[in-house]
């Protein structure tokens, strides 16, 4: 991180405010981001972090105050102007054209050539140089749609270098990355800051804040509540600043001796995605599913739920063999599935919270006639039980934060009385307060004798919440780790096929 006090901040925010109709999203923010530092922005969903970043990137015009770059005040002229000034933002959802090549994506609007002619050869050469800087060894002519998520993210980073970025904004960059891909990203970030590039970094993951950050700014209700060097904070203090209260335990798990077997999966398979999967979950247990991206964890859950019905094997609930030809059969049998992507698979975003909660089990006055007042009563009860923050249960689901959307999905399955709950990446995109509440509900389900399966790419969630962890590799269950042997090394070794000290 830069230490020369004579060097002006890369970005200075002076009295920045941003108001939308009826909402103060950012309130009188004053702070500086220094050249060569990773400045982390932390806080719950809705705290104002992303809005503040959009002001810096000139996606949103501030309602008050102004932005300075390298000590000079800049006027708002839109994202294109910000990029020309050296500000690049990598959003959670990448801004790439999937049907164009990597090289074409890197130079959209600024293609090399002259006289109106684009030099594709020069474009590919320049692209190769940028890709080398971010450690991405792919053909510049390859279509972006054929790249993995981690590879697409590196293309976004290369786009930032293409405009000679002085300020790089990363919004939840590790949300869909594996542990190894996250470490590789951190290596790239460190190389960029060593070159004097300022990095503004939004994250909900506490461990990576302490690993990659130099300073951290905590926001709450649109305002800055603290800016400190990362080394002056510990996890407990950081969480307290973020949520405005003490969170005694992010992972509130009350481990109890398990009961009888509730879910038994025997030789389940679907093509090459899931191969001969066999395991069981007892009453009161939370069993984790770990593995690298593509290991088959989600495919296994979808097979059990009937979203992608298995072509072999057996699923039993309380000893009874189930015939699951689709999700309706699974729901009727007592299985609920909180999908990995709540926005695309878990919610009808344009419908109200009430209709999303009851869609798996509609309250009926008589066949063909929905009990609308009953639907509202159910939604109000679940809103109170799960503390879903929404002014009215009739509000569309797309107006809620990620954490509250996840609670709506959970409420749906609680309303069906599901005995088996499959949670697929339930903490993704959620702030620490919402995560703590979600995991508390998971623990309560286990206490009530439900069988719970937790899929997560974030090992601290599995290590703190689970009674056992099943590790998948290549569509198969590669091994099981009992609680007394829990360690990141053990799980990673099984996920990658490497040897560990337990082998």
Q: Which two tokens stand for residue 385?
A: 């039980």
Contact 363, 380 (CB under 8 A): no
In this model, does residue 264 exceed pLDDT 70? yes
Q: Is there a single domain that holds both residue 193 and residue 56?
A: yes
pLDDT at 153: 85
Q: Is there a single domain that holds both residue 220 and residue 285?
A: no
Question: Alpha helices of 421-487 — where are they, by DSSP H?
Answer: 432-447, 459-465
The predicted model gives 351-364 an average pLDDT of: 91
In this model, does residue 1 exceed pLDDT 70? no
Q: What is the residue-wise DSSP string for 255-299?
A: -----SEEEEEEEEEETTTEEEEEEEEETT-EEEEE--TTSSHHH
Q: Is there a single domain that holds both residue 320 and residue 432?
A: yes
Identify whether 267 is part of a domain: no
Identify whether 190 is part of a domain: yes
Q: 68: closest CA among 85, 83, 51, 80?
A: 85
Identify whether 491 is part of a domain: yes
Q: Is there a single domain that holds both residue 209 and residue 306?
A: no
Q: Which residues pair with 338 in a beta bridge?
A: 423
In this model, does residue 4 exceed pLDDT 70? no
The pLDDT tens digits of the residues spanning 467-503 come to 999 999 999 999 999 999 998 888 988 988 866 555 5
pLDDT at 259: 94
Answer with the residue of higher pLDDT: 19 or 118: 19
User: How far apart (Å, rounded) are the C-alpha atoms in residues 313 and 274?
Assistant: 11
The pLDDT tens digits of the residues spanning 51-100 come to 999 999 999 999 999 999 999 999 999 988 998 899 988 887 777 888 99
Identity of the highest mean pLDDT range in 22-36, 81-95, 129-143, 271-285? 271-285
Number of domains in the chain: 2
Q: Is there a single domain that holds both residue 207 and residue 313?
A: no
Q: Is there a single domain that holds both residue 211 and residue 281?
A: no
Percentage of residues in the chain with pLDDT exceeding 90? Answer: 51
- Within 10 Å of residue 371's Cβ, how many Cβ atoms? 15
Q: Is there a single domain that holds both residue 118 and residue 43?
A: yes
In this model, does residue 102 exceed pLDDT 50? yes
Q: Is there a single domain that holds both residue 210 and residue 62?
A: yes
State the distance between the two ends of the chain, measured CA to CA, in whole angstroms. Answer: 41
Structural domain boundaries, residue 293: 273-496
What mean pLDDT is reported for the chain?
A: 88
Q: Is there a single domain that holds both residue 108 and residue 166?
A: yes
Q: Is there a single domain that holds both residue 376 and residue 472?
A: yes
CATH number at residue 431: 3.40.50.300
Q: Which residues contact 430 (CB under 8 A, 6 or more apart)?
A: 45, 204, 402, 403, 406, 438
Question: Which of 381-385, 447-451, 468-472 comes out lowest in average pLDDT?
Answer: 381-385
Identify whether 446 is part of a domain: yes
For residue 387, which phi and psi values (nearest 5 degrees)? Answer: 55, 50
Identify whether 101 is part of a domain: yes
Report CA dihedral (217, 220, 221, 222) to the nearest 10 degrees. 0
Identify whether 156 is part of a domain: yes
Identify whether 264 is part of a domain: no
The pLDDT tens digits of the residues spanning 134-187 come to 888 899 999 999 988 788 888 988 888 887 889 999 988 887 777 778 888 899
pLDDT at 163: 78
pLDDT at 2: 47
| Residue given tokens 């989600």 in the structure block | 298
Q: Is there a single domain that holds both residue 234 and residue 277?
A: no
The predicted model gives 412-427 an average pLDDT of: 91
In this model, does residue 426 exceed pLDDT 70? yes
Q: What is the residue-wise DSSP string for 131-181?
A: HHHTT--S-TTSBGGGS-HHHHHHHHHHHHHHTT-SEEEEESTTTT--HHH
The pLDDT tens digits of the residues spanning 317-348 come to 999 999 999 999 999 999 999 988 777 777 88
Q: Is there a single domain that holds both residue 352 and residue 478?
A: yes
Identify whether 265 is part of a domain: no
In this model, does residue 315 exceed pLDDT 80? yes
């Amino acid at each position: 991180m830069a230490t020369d006090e004579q060097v002006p901040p890369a970005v200075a925010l002076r009295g920045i405010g941003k108001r939308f109709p009826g909402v103060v999203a950012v309130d009188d923010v004053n702070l500086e981001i220094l050249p060569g530092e990773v400045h982390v922005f932390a806080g719950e969903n809705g705290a104002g972090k992303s809005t503040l970043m959009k002001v810096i990137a000139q996606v949103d015009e501030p309602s008050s105050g102004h932005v300075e770059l390298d000590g000079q005040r800049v006027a708002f002229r839109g994202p294109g102007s910000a990029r020309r000034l050296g500000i690049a933002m990598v959003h959670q959802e990448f801004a790439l054209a999937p049907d164009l090549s990597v090289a074409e994506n890197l130079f959209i609007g600024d293609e090399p050539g002259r006289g109106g002619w684009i030099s594709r050869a020069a474009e590919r050469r320049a692209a190769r140089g940028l890709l080398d800087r971010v450690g991405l060894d792919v053909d510049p002519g390859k279509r972006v749609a054929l790249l993995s998520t981690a590879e697409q993210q590196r293309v976004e980073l290369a786009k930032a270098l293409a405009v000679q970025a002085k300020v790089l904004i990363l919004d939840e960059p590790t949300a869909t990355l594996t542990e190894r891909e996250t470490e590789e990203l951190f290596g790239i970030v460190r190389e960029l800051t060593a070159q004097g590039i300022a990095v503004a970094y939004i994250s909900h993951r506490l461990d990576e804040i302490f690993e990659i950050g130099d300073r951290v700014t905590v926001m709450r209700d649109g305002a800055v509540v603290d800016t400190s060097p990362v080394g002056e904070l510990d996890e407990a203090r950081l969480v307290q600043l973020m949520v405005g209260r003490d969170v005694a335990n992010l992972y509130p798990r009350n481990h109890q001796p398990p009961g009888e077997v509730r879910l038994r999966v025997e030789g389940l398979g679907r093509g090459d995605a899931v191969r001969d999967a066999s395991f069981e979950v007892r009453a009161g247990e939370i069993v984790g599913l770990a593995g690298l991206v593509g290991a088959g964890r989600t495919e296994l859950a979808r097979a059990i739920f009937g979203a992608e019905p298995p072509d072999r094997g057996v699923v039993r609930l309380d000893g009874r063999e189930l015939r699951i030809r689709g999700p309706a059969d699974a729901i009727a049998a007592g299985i609920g599935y909180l999908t990995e992507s709540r926005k695309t698979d878990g919610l009808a975003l344009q419908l109200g919270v009430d209709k999303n909660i009851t869609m798996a089990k509609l309250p009926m006055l008589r066949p063909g006639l929905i009990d609308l007042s009953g639907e509202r009563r159910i939604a109000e009860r679940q809103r109170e039980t799960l503390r879903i923050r929404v002014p009215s249960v009739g509000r569309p689901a797309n107006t809620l934060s990620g954490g509250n959307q996840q609670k709506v999905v959970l409420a749906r399955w609680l309303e069906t009385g599901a005995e088996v709950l499959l949670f697929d990446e339930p903490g993704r995109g959620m702030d620490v307060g919402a995560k703590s509440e979600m995991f508390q509900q998971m623990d309560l389900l286990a206490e009530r004798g439900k069988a719970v399966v937790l899929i997560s790419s974030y090992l601290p969630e599995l290590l703190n919440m689970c009674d056992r962890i099943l590790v998948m590799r290549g569509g198969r269950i590669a091994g099981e780790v009992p609680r007394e042997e829990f360690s990141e090394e053990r799980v990673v070794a099984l996920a990658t096929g490497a040897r560990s000290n337990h082998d």
